[in-house]
A and B are shown apart, each in its own frame.
Chain A
Amino acid sequence: MAEITLPPRLEGVEPVRSIRVPASIHYRYTAGEASSKFLREVAKKRLVGQQCPLCKKVYVPPRGCCPTDGVPTVGEVELKDTGTITSFCIVNVPFMQNLMEIPYVGALILLDGSDLPIMHLIQEIPADQVVPGMRVEAVWVPDDEIGPTLESIKYFRPNGEPDAPLETYKEHV
């Protein structure tokens, strides 16, 4: 640090090395038309993606446009609540106010019929037994707790089907 010559009255005074300046701003996030529609369907226990009219890819959750072609995604496609794990990570660090028992698995799940994996929790299986290609199904919260949020799905769990071959999902890894 550069030497600073202080006036006599400040000599010997402890320098300020850091300050704390807490700041917070409240935001109201606009989900937009496509996401609003999707979330309203989630509240009915339905997963509805949108399809690009050009490349035919199905996006879920939809954001109203195809990020590849830059055109509105208008066609709606209802998806099953089953899918394939394309990739995952094992979380060994507690955060989220320690809501989760560690280790736990966060995975990218390609819902059947879609082209964009969603991120969700994997439960009901030890973390070290999760593999890419694992077939999973959604476990929904009780009907009276379902709302317009992906938290309406508690987690995904193995559905007992044999692992999907890499060829079926390698484009999405």
Chain B
Amino acid sequence: MRDIAIVSFAQSHHARAISTHNEVEMLMPLLGEAMGAAGITKDRVDFVCSGSSDYLAGQPFSFVMTLDAFGPWPPISESHVDMDGAWAVYEAWVKMQSGHADIALVYAYGKSSPGDIRRVLSRQLDPYYLQPLWPDSVALAALQARAGLDAGTFTAEQMAEVAARSRRAAVDNPFAQLAGDVEAATLLDAPDFLAPLKMHDCAPVSDGAAVLILAAEDIARELSDRPAWIRGIDHRIEPHALGLRDLTTSASTRLAGEKAGVHHGEVDLAELHAPFTHQELILSEALGLGDGVSINPSGGALGANPVMAAGLVRMGEAATRISRGDANRAVAHATSGPCLQQNLVCVLEGE
């Protein structure tokens, strides 16, 4: 296995609607920022991998047009996943392991504002039994929360604590969209949004993008004073049909965490991609994160949730904290699909 590290990261100032910039314009400054921080120009990038969804843009092959932001000439080695950018990191990591790339650039972007994101996300469900019912993403998460509350897996108080902690953490995150000093008790007094979920249990609707650069071995040491080494990365998926799953737990996260080696050392911090408060509780439990672990010091997806990029942002936030010296060992997690259907876990370490 080759040692591969995250050496640079840039993200947008996520917002409810970035209505003045199209996807290319949103992404282009971040590409320059990430390459500038690593001290490289695009000719040194061996592989480009992106994550996005045409369903968000409402335009077929929108991801091809977005390549303009990088400038794919002379012809470049490039790939795309219709998934969160965290999975593009996985593909790039595999490519680098195979020896076909030493520096890879990964980007992801998502504008939720052009369409109705709750309806758009219903299009990922099975086309025969669920899609015709248009169950929206918040409604499905509410079913999951209800299952967990009824089973006693977590409480409404714990959910409100997650929201309050995330918003407080996001105060120090200039890229976050939703931040503030709130008490969990106050949040609990709010009316139901989609019972049992209250508004604070749901991530905000966000537009945003992120860029991350990976480098192998000594090149990583050249590009970063303190690279965030990927010590383990794994992703697992659960059945498409929600009725086949136990929604109160996350078997796929548990397995991905084991395979990525989460338990092979102390975890300083975890960036968990949980668009709903109860999902953070499910993920923490599945990864066996103890009380000493700082969870979502960035504010997490509850601070900003640019769909398709929010998982990549978790990796970037964790890596940045390692590179800054704030942490030595971190877990980054990304999710995709309804009710935490698919999960990716990555273990990052400093040297």
Give chain A's interface residues, CB within 8 Å of chain B.
Answer: 19, 21, 23, 25-36, 63-72
Residue contact B22 to A70, C-beta cutoff 8 Å? no
Cβ-closest chain B residue relative to A30: B22
Q: List residues of B (120-136) whose CB comes within 8 Å of A's CBs.
A: 120, 123, 127-128, 131-132
B100 in the interface, Cβ–Cβ < 8 Å? no
With A65-B28, A67-B67, A67-B71 given, is the CB distance from A21 to B127 under 8 Å? yes
A68 to B116, CA, bound (A): 33
B70 in the interface, Cβ–Cβ < 8 Å? yes
Cβ-closest chain B residue relative to A69: B71
Residue contact A35 to B22, C-beta cutoff 8 Å? yes
B69 in the interface, Cβ–Cβ < 8 Å? yes
Residue contact B22 to A64, C-beta cutoff 8 Å? yes
6 tightest Cβ-Cβ pairs between the two chains A and B: A70-B71, A32-B22, A27-B58, A67-B68, A68-B73, A27-B114
Shortest distance between the CB of B67 and any CB in chain A (Å): 7
Q: Which residues of B contact A23 (CB under 8 A)?
A: 123, 131
B224 in the interface, Cβ–Cβ < 8 Å? no
A148 to B22, CA, bound (A): 17
Digitize B34-66: 1 where CB-to-A-CB distance is under 8 Å, 0 elsewhere: 000000001000000000000001110000010
Q: Which residues of B contact A25 (CB under 8 A)?
A: 58, 115-116, 119-120, 123
Interface size counted on chain B using CB atoms at 8 A: 33
Q: Told that A25-B115, A68-B71, A70-B42 touch, could you supply 12 new A-B pairs with CB distance under 8 A? A: A19-B132, A25-B123, A27-B58, A30-B20, A30-B22, A30-B113, A33-B22, A63-B24, A64-B25, A64-B28, A70-B28, A71-B71
A30 to B73, CA, bound (A): 26
Shortest distance between the CB of A110 and any CB in chain B (Å): 19
A67 to B24, CA, bound (A): 10
Residue contact B22 to A28, C-beta cutoff 8 Å? no
Q: Which residues of A contact B22 (CB under 8 A)?
A: 30-33, 35, 63-64
From A26, A28, A29, A65, B68 is in contact (CB under 8 Å) with A65
Residue contact B71 to A29, C-beta cutoff 8 Å? no
Cβ-closest chain A residue relative to B207: A30
A21 to B123, CA, bound (A): 11
Residue contact A67 to B72, C-beta cutoff 8 Å? yes
Shortest distance between the CB of A108 and any CB in chain B (Å): 17
A30 to B128, CA, bound (A): 32
Digitize B8-39: 1 where CB-to-A-CB distance is under 8 Å, 0 elsewhere: 00000000001111101100100100000000
Q: Which residues of A contact B19 (CB under 8 A)?
A: 30
Shortest distance between the CB of B270 and any CB in chain A (Å): 34
Q: Which residues of B contact A21 (CB under 8 A)?
A: 127-128, 131-132
B226 in the interface, Cβ–Cβ < 8 Å? no
Residue contact A72 to B28, C-beta cutoff 8 Å? yes
Cβ-closest chain A residue relative to B111: A30
A55 to B69, CA, bound (A): 15
Interface centre among B19, B24, B119, by most chain A C-beta atoms within 10 angstroms, is B24
With A25-B116, A33-B21 given, is the CB distance from A66 to B71 under 8 Å? yes
